[in-house]
Amino acid sequence: MSIEGEKIRMEAKEKWGEIAEACVDSSEVEQYTGLIHKAFAHANSETQLETIGFRVGQVLVEKVSKDSPKLVTELEIVKFICKEFWSAVFGKQVDNLRTNHQGVYVVQDNKFTTLRCFPEGTQYVKSSGRFLALPCGILRGALDSLNIPAIVTATVESIPAVKFQLQIAAKA
Amino acid sequence: MAGIIAIYIYGRENSRLFHAVNPEELGNVCDIEMFVFCSLDIVDEKVVKSNEMYLGQLFTDQRYKSFGFVTNTGVKIVLVVDFLNSTLKDQDVRSIFKRFHVFYCKTISNPFYTIGSPLHSRWLDDGCKEIFAKSE
Amino acid sequence: MSKNAKQNLADSKKMSAELFCLTYGSLVTELLRDYEDPKEVTMQLDKMGFNMGTRLADDFLAKNSNVPRCTDCRQIAEVLCKNAIPCYLGTTANSSNWVGGDREFTIVIENNPLNELVQVPPNLLAAGLSYSQVIAGAIRGALEAVHFKVYATAMENGANTEIRIRFDSVLKDNLPAGEDD
């Protein structure tokens, strides 16, 4: 965990942040696998929290989906995540779901549970990011168990509203 | 419950996660395993057409008959029953699958368990004791 | 409609408990990957628990203003077993094994939710991993926040989790609790 290594990682992460915003097509995501690895595959607290969340999501989704009807299409699965899974794990359903029908989903939760006790507004937006690593991991683990490998990132514009981006990996 | 021969659990990539054979049938393990493999093929066929987790009866060879179940995460459970068994109703089979699905959930909740590796837990063991008990 | 709402609240509390226990379990395995030595992981869990405990003390006292100020270990054990542990772990506890002129005792937790679905590999247990040490740390931290210095160790005994507590001293100096290590 050298200082230089941290610097490279931060730069890669910022670059990815810009690219992720502009990404419309999930196939574009794959060009950036190298960058994503640089940005995220490094053992700092955020990646560790994400890894911890991944395992939790894998198990939780089995329990929550146990009593739900059979989920077949990708859209059914994402809707399940946004409604039943979100309610069970985060205490409420999401407020908005958008998709470009090409593997990119944007999920909006205006009162995300993790940030519900944080001071509202834009003052702590930057430092709130690390608290979202665990939920992102949970979502990625849940999707993975439902056979939807994806990259999950979160952005905060104003606490406690959070936007999650789900970028579904294109099937080989 | 009379006539329950075996229960097998497979992961999404068809790796075997768990298997238990009725102690009275241990001499026929090879035949039972072949039967389960055939049943798995039918599971793959049926899962595409089914709109629920319970797949119903899969296969029969005049000695055994099998029932299938697939979870939303792709975990497959195959139950092998004596062909001549007539006391086991559809709802009994559904209930067995539901119980073993719960046992599976409990077993994977162990943080020291690696998803996709063989399952070992007291719930699965107790569940098997229960379904293999009271064989005529 | 209100019946549904009540059910949802009960379900969401249950799910929060599950979420917490699964996250804790995943954290323990992650720590094991990081530190490799199970004894070191136990120490980290104790530290985490201590930090949580110092904050929980305030929360507990705010919610339980009728709890009297404790003057001896028997009273501490009573409050822990009858109020604190049910409040934060959702299960009851009892004290036992009093020795050393009532300065040392064991808290026995029967249905510890943290390790309800956990099977610690025997080799890790033998190498010094104490899965529930976070509870011992929390008790230590909470008691230090109310000026009691104690030593606390967690161990699994059959189906129970036991926290062995040894009273050391009353902290006279007003050092802010939580300044550990």
**Any idea what the CATH number is for the domain that residue B75 is in?**
3.30.450.70
Q: Has residue A6 been placed in a domain?
A: no
**Domain that residue A56 falls in:** 45-168
In a domain, A15, yes or no: no
Report residue A40's pLDDT band, with 50, 70 and 90 as the boundaries.
low
Count of the separate structural domains present in chain C: 1
How many domains are there within chain A?
1
Residue B133 contacts A where some CB pair is shorter than 8 Å: no
pLDDT at C8: 61
**pLDDT beyond 80 at B85:** yes
Domain span at residue B94 reads 4-132
Residues of C in contact with A59 (CB under 8 A): 22
Which of A41-55, B31-45, C97-111 is predicted with the least confidence, judged by mean pLDDT? A41-55
pLDDT at B1 exceeding the cut of 60: no
Average pLDDT over every residue of A32-39 = 64
Nearest chain A Cα distance for residue B108, angstroms: 6
Q: Residue C140 — very low, low, confident or very high, per pLDDT cuts 50/70/90?
A: very high
What integer is the mean pLDDT of C67-88? Answer: 90
- Residue C180 within any structural domain of the chain: no
Model-level pTM?
Answer: 0.84
C63 found inside a domain: yes
Q: What is the pLDDT of residue A143?
A: 97
pLDDT at site A60: 95
In a domain, A5, yes or no: no
Contacts with A148 from chain B: Cβ below 8 Å: none
pLDDT at A16: 75
Would you state the pLDDT for residue B136?
Answer: 41
Total count of domains within chain B: 1
| Substitution target from B110, B119, B122 for chain C, most C beta carbons within 10 A | B110
User: Which of A5-9, A167-171, C131-135 has the weakest average pLDDT?
Assistant: A5-9
Is the pLDDT assigned to residue B4 strictly greater than 70? Answer: yes
- Contact across the interface for C121 and B121, Cβ inside 8 Å: no
Is residue A139 in a domain? yes
- Residue C176 belongs to a domain: no
For position A17, what pLDDT does the model report? 76
- Tell me which chain C residues have a C-beta less than 8 angstroms from the C-beta of B111: 22, 25-26, 28-29, 118
- Output the pLDDT for position C83: 92
Q: What local confidence, expressed as pLDDT, does residue A1 receive?
A: 39
Site from B13, B51, B73 to mutate, A interface, most A CB atoms within 10 angstroms: B73
**In this structure, is residue C61 part of a structural domain?**
yes
Highest mean pLDDT among A15-29, A42-56, A150-164: A150-164
| C34 band by pLDDT with thresholds 50, 70 and 90 | confident
CB contact under 8 A, B73 and A71: no
Query: How far is CA B119 from its chain centroid?
Result: 13
Residue among C22, C28, C121 minimizing CB distance to B109:
C22
How far is CA C42 from its chain centroid? 13
**What is the extent of the structural domain holding C76?**
2-170
Which of A56, A65, A66 best tests the B interface by mutation, with the highest count of B CBs <10 A? A66
- Taking the C-alpha atoms of residue C170 and residue C100, their distance in angstroms, rounded to an integer, is 17
Q: What is the DSSP string of A94-129?
A: -SEEEE-SSSEEEEEETT-GGGTTSPSBSTTHHHHG
A145 chain-B contacts, CB cut-off 8 A:
73, 115
Q: Which has the higher per-residue pLDDT, C102 or A33? A: C102
Share of chain B above pLDDT 90, in %: 80
Q: Which CATH number is C105's domain given?
A: 3.30.1380.20
Q: Is C177 among the domain residues?
A: no
The contacts of residue A145 (CB under 8 Å, 6+ apart) are: A57, A58, A61, A62, B73, B115
B54-60 β-sheet, strand order: B16-21, B4-10, B76-82, B64-70, B54-60
Note whether C22 contacts A60, CB cutoff 8 Å: yes
* Confidence tier at B75 by pLDDT (50, 70, 90): very high
In the predicted model, is pLDDT for residue A2 greater than 90?
no
Task: Convert the pLDDT of each residue in A92-123 to its tens digit.
Answer: 999 999 999 899 999 999 999 989 888 988 88
Nearest CA in chain C to B110: C118
Which subunits have 3 or more CB–CB pairs within 8 Å of chain C?
A: A, B
- Does the residue C181 lie in any domain? no
User: Does some domain include residue C48?
Assistant: yes
> For residue A26, is pLDDT > 90?
no
Closest chain C residue to B111, measured at CA: C25
- pLDDT for A3 equals 52
Contact A108, A161 (CB under 8 A): yes
Digit-coded pLDDT (tens) for C57-67: 999 999 888 88
- In this prediction, residue B86 carries a pLDDT of 82
Confidence band of C7 (pLDDT split at 50, 70, 90) = low
Average pLDDT across chain C, whole number: 88
A89: CATH: 3.30.1380.20
Identify all chain A residues contacting B69, using CB atoms and an 8 Å cutoff.
Answer: none
